[in-house]
Each structure stands twice: as C-alpha cells, then as structure tokens.
Amino acid sequence: MVTNVAIKEVDYYHPKNIITNDFFINHFEKQGKDIRPLLEFTGRSKRYISNNKKENMLTMGIEAAKKALKKANLTAKDMDLIVFSSGTPEFVQPTNALKLHHALDGKEKTIVYDMNSNCVGMVVALEQISQYMKNNPKIKYGMIVGAEQMNRYARYSEEIPYANFGDSGCAIILENTENSDRGFIDSDWYTDSSMHEFITLPAKGFSNIYNDHLPVEDKLVQWVPFNTDNAFISAKNSIEKLLVQNNLTKKDVKKYFLSQFAKKNIDFIKDELKEEVHKFPFIGDDFGYTGTTSPFIALAKTLDNGELKRGDVIIFWSVGSGITASCVLYRY
C-alpha cells in the first residue's frame, strides 16, 4: 500500500486590533529615526497586534486550531498527533502542544510536542511530520499549529522586531492518504550558523532572566541587523535542486509560499528564478510579519481566493534566525 501525507485543511486567527505604519513612523521619529525605507523594503501597511494582555500565542493557536478542525469537519479526538511551533512560546513546561491538547479536549492516544525552529518552524514541522506520518500509517490525522507574538518581546528601540511583526495563529491538518500522489514530495535545507549571535531571545539567555540587576531590555529580544543575502540565494538554489531531482520544471509550480519577512526578499527570489509575480502570494502588507505562520497564512489566503486546486505543485520556503532555511516541495 502506497501512502502519502496531504494537507487537508488550513486556517488562521489574528487579533482584531490593527496598527498602521503611522504609529511606528511617529514612534521612531521621536528617536531620530526614519523607518519609512524599512517599511517600504518589508512591504508593510498594517499589522494585527493584540491589545488584550490575556491574549497570547497559545490562545491564538487554540483559536486557529478550532477553526481548522471545524473547517475539516473533525474534532481533536480525531487527531493522532499535535505539534506546536513557535519562536515565542508561552510555556517551556509543559509544552504548548499539551496545553492545546487540553483546550481542544484531545484523546489519550495522541502524540504531543513542541517544535521551535523559530520563523522556519512550521515548514520544518511540515517536512518532519509528513515524513513520519508517511512511514506510520497508524497515524491518520495530524495537526501542526503555529503562533507568534514577537512584538510583545521587542525592544522599543529596535525597528525590525517592534515595527515589522504582527500577531497570529495558524493551524494545518494533515491526512494520511492511500494511493494518492498528493502531499509531500521532497525537501532541502540550508544552514549558516555563523550568524547565531545576531538574534537572541532572551538577549542574555534564560539563565539570566531572573537576574534582578539585568536591565529589562536584556530580557527581551536582541536583533542586530545582518546580511541575509546568502539565505535568500539558498532559496533559489533549493527550489531549482528539488525541481530537477523530481523531474519537474518551474512551469509545473503553481505557487511559492515563502517567508513574508520582506516583500523585497520575495521579489529577489522571484527575479533569481525568473518567475512570474502572480506565483508569489504576499500577505505581509495586511498581517505584518507573523514568523512561523507566515507561509501558511499565505496558503490560506490563496485558497480563500480560489487560486489553488488539488493536485497543484507548490513550494514552501522560510528561514529562521541563526540562520537556517528549509524548502519543501508539495503537491496540494
């Protein structure tokens, strides 16, 4: 029996509170900084940022999961596996996946764990879990939930984490299918750990988080600007490699769901591939940069717009701090 793992449903959640560019432009002008060029580079217009202190990445993930389950006409008791991806987890112990399992009333026979690969996390989870489920037909349904709330941990003096990020939760439901070519095809990776010190949260590590003499800003995220050109060149290289290895061409690819960190980066990859702009959905103008969830919110919006059908070849790519990148070739 030939099995493969396909995306059954995807849905997302975001807070209601909208913050436009004007707020951040005014905020940084008071510090003598003009962030308009940054906002143009990233393609930002607005972002959803919660103004409810009781709302966090876990609650947003729960809401996204509920929506995805309802859309799939399933319940948490149908899920054999639940994985939570975040670079800004609400809890280290217990896992956020366990909290999610409880909130959804999952069954006892469920695999639950967290995965933290920062912004590339949901792409990594899709690759890892698809491979695992494909080789374990006892798992019929799996759920990957991602959520991010970087703005809450940003220093008010650092433009990228404070002005660039938006809050969101996203959930995808995977289904083990029989005798179908839909689903996971192949993957590729790129890692350059020489930049491991440029983005750190907490800035001085968890071992110092309760040091009363440590300034608050050193308990938040530290984001030192650095050159990411090689990471985005790696996207082009990974995509071309995967297509060749699987006897496909760029004409076969319907959509590319890439990191929504910056519109200019997506345009760079598009130009390097010599591809058409309509193949690269961009939702970062409405949502801000939502980290781990960003390629999959782009997928959800594309489906909402009726721009994708079952059997279409798609590509996911994203990059996490440090840096590490993952590329997944998939047949929707």
Q: Residue 168: its pLDDT value, please?
A: 98
Domain end, chosen from 152, 181, 210, is at 181
Say what the pTM is. 0.96
Task: Please indicate, yes or no, whether residues 141 and 31 belong to a single structural domain of this protein.
Answer: yes
**How many domains, in total, are found in the chain?**
2
Task: Please indicate, yes or no, whether residues 60 and 78 belong to a single structural domain of this protein.
Answer: yes
SS (H, E, C) the chain: CCEEEEEEEEEEECCCCEEEHHHHHHHHHCCCCCCHHHHHHHCCCEEECCCCCCCCHHHHHHHHHHHHHHHHCCCHHHCCEEEEECCCCCCCCCCHHHHHHHHHCCCCCCEEEEECCHHHHHHHHHHHHHHHHHCCCCCCEEEEEEEECHHHHCCCCCHHHHHHECCEEEEEEEEEEECCCCEEEEEEEEECHHHCCCEECCCCCHHHCCCCCCCHHHHCCEECCCCCHHHHHHHHHHHHHHHHHCCCCHHHEEEEEECCCCHHHHHHHHHHHCCCHHHCCCCHHHHCECHHHHHHHHHHHHHHCCCCCCCCEEEEEEEECCCEEEEEEEEC
Task: Please indicate, yes or no, whether residues 33 and 78 belong to a single structural domain of this protein.
Answer: yes
Task: Please indicate, yes or no, whether residues 8 and 152 belong to a single structural domain of this protein.
Answer: yes
Task: Please indicate, yes or no, whether residues 135 and 264 belong to a single structural domain of this protein.
Answer: no
Task: Please indicate, yes or no, whether residues 141 and 208 belong to a single structural domain of this protein.
Answer: no
Give CA–CA dist 332/315, Å, rounded: 10
Tokens of 71: 């859309």
φ, ψ at 88 (rounded to 5°): -130, 60
Helix axes 96-104, 57-72, angle to 10 degrees: 50
Give CA–CA dist 164/180, Å, rounded: 40
How many CB atoms sit inside 10 A of residue 281's CB? 22
Residue 171's beta-bridge partner residues? Answer: 11, 145
Using only the alpha carbons of the chain, give its radius of gyration. Answer: 19
Tokens of 51: 């103004």
Task: Please indicate, yes or no, whether residues 167 and 242 belong to a single structural domain of this protein.
Answer: no
Q: Which of 62, 320, 57, 309 is nearest to 198 (CA)?
A: 320
Task: Please indicate, yes or no, whether residues 147 and 240 belong to a single structural domain of this protein.
Answer: no
Helix axes 121-134, 294-304, angle to 10 degrees: 80
Looking at residue 231, which CATH number applies to its domain? 3.40.47.10
Domain end, chosen from 126, 150, 181, is at 181
Task: Please indicate, yes or no, whether residues 240 and 321 belong to a single structural domain of this protein.
Answer: yes
Give CA–CA dist 113/77, Å, rounded: 16
Structural domain harbouring 12: 3-181
CB-based contact 228:323 (threshold 8 Å): yes
Q: Which of 65, 81, 117 is nearest to 259 (CA)?
A: 117
Task: Please indicate, yes or no, whether residues 171 and 145 belong to a single structural domain of this protein.
Answer: yes
CB-based contact 69:104 (threshold 8 Å): yes
Task: Please indicate, yes or no, whether residues 302 and 287 belong to a single structural domain of this protein.
Answer: yes
Q: Residue 3: its pLDDT value, please?
A: 80
Domain end, chosen from 119, 152, 181, is at 181
Task: Please indicate, yes or no, whether residues 118 and 210 belong to a single structural domain of this protein.
Answer: no
Q: Residue 211: its pLDDT value, please?
A: 87
Per-residue pLDDT of the chain (332 residues; tens, 9 = 90+): 568 999 999 999 999 999 999 999 999 999 999 999 999 999 999 999 999 999 999 999 999 999 999 999 999 999 999 999 999 999 999 999 999 999 999 999 999 999 999 999 999 999 999 999 999 989 999 999 999 999 999 999 999 999 999 999 999 999 999 878 899 999 999 999 999 999 999 999 999 998 888 999 999 999 998 888 888 999 999 999 999 999 999 999 999 999 999 999 999 999 999 999 999 999 999 999 999 999 999 999 999 999 999 999 999 999 999 999 999 999 99
